[in-house]
Structures are given as C-alpha cells and as structure tokens.
Amino acid sequence: MQSQLDAQAVSILNNNDRGGFTIPTARLYPYQWNWDSAFIALGLATIDRQRAWRELTMLIDGQTADGMIPSILFRNDNPDYFPGPSVWQTTASSLPTTGISQPPVLASMILTLVRRDQAEGLGQARLLFDAVLNWHRWYHRCRTPVGCPVVCTVHPWETGRDNSPDWALGLSSMQIDPDIGPYQRKDIEHADPSQRPSQEEYDKYLTIVKFGRDHNWDQATLTNQGPFLMADPGIHFILLRADRDLLELATLLHRFDAVPEIETWIETAIAGTDYLWNDRLKAFCARDVRSGQFANGFSNASPLCFYAGVGSEGQQRQTLDHLKRIRGLTKFGHPSWDPQAPRFDSQRYWCGPIWPQMNYLIATGLNEQGETELAARLRLDLRQLIELSGFYECFDPLTGSGCIGRDFSWTAALWLAWASPAAGAFEAVSGEDEGFAS
C-alpha cells in the first residue's frame, strides 16, 4: 500500500501542476494559494528540489507593492471559482490577487528546505529573503491595530481557517452590506454544501471584501476601520515562529542588517502573547479586538503555542490537558474544533475536521518541546487517515472519512514529506528527529 500511495501522491502533485505552481485541487480551488504552496513545496522537494523552489518563487510573483503576499494569485479568470479577480479588483500587484493575506508559513518552510540541502538551499533562500522580510514587515505594520499588542486579522479567509467557530464573535457584530449584490457560489457546486460555510457567513465574507474594494484596498483603513477585526492565535503563533525562522535565515545568509528588526518583532510578539490567553477556558483563543471577548472553544490553532515556543509552564500544561482530553473524544486527532464546544461539526469545513497541515505544525511544536509521543501519534493518525480514505483536503476525526476536496495537493505533499513511512529517511537527511523537521 505504501508504494501505491507514494505513487498516487506524486501523481496528484503532477496533475495539479499548472506550469510551475500547484493548485490545491481541480475546480474547487483552481488558482495558486499562499500557504498551500508553502506546504506543497515540502512534498515537491522529495521529488524535485528545483521544482519545489520554483513553487515558492512563483508565489512571490504576486507580492504587492507594500509587501503583502496575497492569499490567492489569479493567473486567469476561472469560471469554476467565486469570488474571482473581478470581485476583488486589486491593483497593487503585477497579477490580479485577493486583497488579504494568509498565515505566513513561508519563512519556516524555506528554512526546512535549507536544512535538508544547505548547499543548494542557501542560494535559493538568498533570492527569496528580501521578499519574505518585506512580507513580515507588512504583517507587523499593516495588521497591528492601534492600541492592540498583537498582529490581527481582517477577514476569516486571511486566517486560513475560514469558517471556524472562532470567528462567530466578529461576524455576529457585522451587518451584511445590502449592496453586495446577487452572486452565485461555486464552492457548493463542487463540494457537499453541508460541509461548506453557511450562506450568511458567505454574505459577511463578501461584505468585508466590498469594504476593502470600496477603500481601494488601503490596508490601514481595512485593519482599523473595517467591519471585522480579531486576534487569531493561528496567525500570531505562526508569524512568531516564522519570525524566529527568518532570524535564523538572516544569520545563515549573513543578512545581519535585518537582525535587530526581526528580534524586535519576536520580543513584541512574546510580550503580547497573554492577550490571547482565555483564563476561563484555560487556553489560547481567538479574541474580538473591539469587544475584548474571547471565542469559546479550543481550536487547532490553540496548541500552536508549542510551535511558536511560547506560553508559561502552566499555560503549556493546560494546553496539553486539552489536547489529551480531546484525544479521548476522537478516533483520530487533532480536530479543528473541540468536540465538547458549541458548533462542533465533524464534517463541516473548519468546525471539526482534521487538517493535515495544521496537525503537521502542531506535531512539529510538540516534538520540539519534548512531547514526542503525542507528536508521533498525530503523524501516525494522518498516515492512517490517508490509508483509509485517500488524499482529501481534511478528514472526519470521528470516522476518518475524507471531507471537501479530493486529490488534494497539501495532503499529498505532507504524505511524501512527513506522514509516509518512507518520509523518515527523507527527514533524517537534515539531522532532525525522524519525521519532525522544523
């Protein structure tokens, strides 16, 4: 079975290749997505390292003049996808793009590739370094609201965890703009509507897009005056980890000019981390910036504190308690939402399913913090899910059945780079513990 799945994973990546960049899956997601490409590069590197670097180079093609790397690069106007470039109407990049970003995992994935082949990797990383540095500058400058101690988000889509129950607070305070006009969703034509965001959620997503478009995608206005503003533990922890990894890249590349700035970002983020600690729930949670209220559940972003290397001893212990409690409620772990929290749905997008890339990040952090048994369990879970159901976008944590998109690129990539039994030998090249390169 292993060799068959290895071959199938390679075939999926080849079939989803669109000439130097890889789409997540046909029809449902027919463009280049930001964090998808970063994870996809890990899998491509097991097949063709030059092609892996090409994936990242083409992602940077869409960088805007102010430094943002957008969530989606529209290299055409595909009728299978909504909302496309005609809805976003951005002009800051040489390509049509969205007006928002996505979780900044790029620096961390670049460092992983460098560790696997430093001789080649450093040369490639040098070519990408300034673009990634400018993207981090954009995040710290454009997504830190006035008076808030952490980087925030202006749209659920920017978090990558689109319809997580985390965003209910921010969305509930919004009014749907009556001028968004009639539109035809495409996602529910290509996937089971019961597994996708609701119509009300979609109306509010498009209300935020309309606000950005009406303000010419001025990012400061979108952040400080837009209809949605929440602090996301996912973006906070991922960016903090990416800043640490960018600092290591700066040192390896002798880019000492960038070191003081990056160190300041790291210090500021560490100092602000408690802003996300929900003492009632004893967990890191999303928080509505304007009301100060916390989300009411433990998500798959909550344990990324280990990945970022932050949290007090007590906070990390209580986070582990949640992970172990939830482990006892599911057949496979870790789900995107707490099964004992309101709005858990084991098959509805980010309301419960297991997401391969999130569990990879969680496991990486756990392994680095000495929780090797739990980390190994998450890796084995993904292996078993793929063996059971195939290469889906996400999986039901109770039954293991696949959800949403089929033949999914980041699932194929993480099989090759992490979950497959053969991945251990590849990971060992870097000198890291088997299966858990940082």
CATH assignment at residue 401: 1.50.10.10
Per-residue pLDDT of the chain (438 residues; tens, 9 = 90+): 778 999 999 999 999 999 999 999 999 999 999 999 999 999 999 999 999 999 999 999 999 999 999 999 999 999 989 999 999 999 999 999 999 999 999 999 999 999 999 989 999 999 999 999 999 999 999 999 999 999 999 999 999 999 999 999 999 999 999 999 899 998 988 888 888 999 999 999 999 999 999 999 999 999 999 999 999 999 999 999 999 999 999 999 999 999 999 999 999 999 999 999 999 999 999 999 999 999 999 999 999 999 999 999 999 999 999 999 999 999 998 999 999 999 999 999 999 999 999 999 999 999 999 999 999 999 999 999 999 999 999 999 999 999 999 999 999 999 999 999 988 633 422 334 333 333
Residue 153 main-chain phi, psi, to 5 deg: -135, 150
* Residue 435, in any domain of the structure: no
* Residue 433, in any domain of the structure: no
**SS3 label, residue 411:** helix
Strand pairing partners for 395? Answer: 354, 402
- C-beta atoms surrounding 118 within 10 Å: 13
**pTM of this structure:** 0.95
Give residue 234's pLDDT. 98
* Residue 144, in any domain of the structure: yes
Contact 345, 326 (CB under 8 A): no
Domain that holds residue 11: 2-428
* Residue 139, in any domain of the structure: yes
* Residue 98, in any domain of the structure: yes
Specify whether the backbone of 285 is left (phi greater than 0), alpha (psi in -120 to 50) or beta. Answer: beta
Length, in residues, of the chain: 438
Burial of 62 (0-12, 13-18, 19+ CB in 10 A): buried
Give residue 172's pLDDT. 96
Give residue 2's pLDDT. 76
Give residue 422's pLDDT. 87
DSSP H/E element including 324: helix 313-327
Give residue 432's pLDDT. 40
Count structural domains, the chain: 1
* Residue 437, in any domain of the structure: no
Give me the torsion for CA of 160, 166, 172, 174, rounded to 10°.
-30
* Residue 323, in any domain of the structure: yes
Give residue 385's pLDDT. 98
* Residue 355, in any domain of the structure: yes
Q: What positions carry a catalytic annotation? A: 162, 393
Give residue 13's pLDDT. 98
Give residue 424's pLDDT. 63
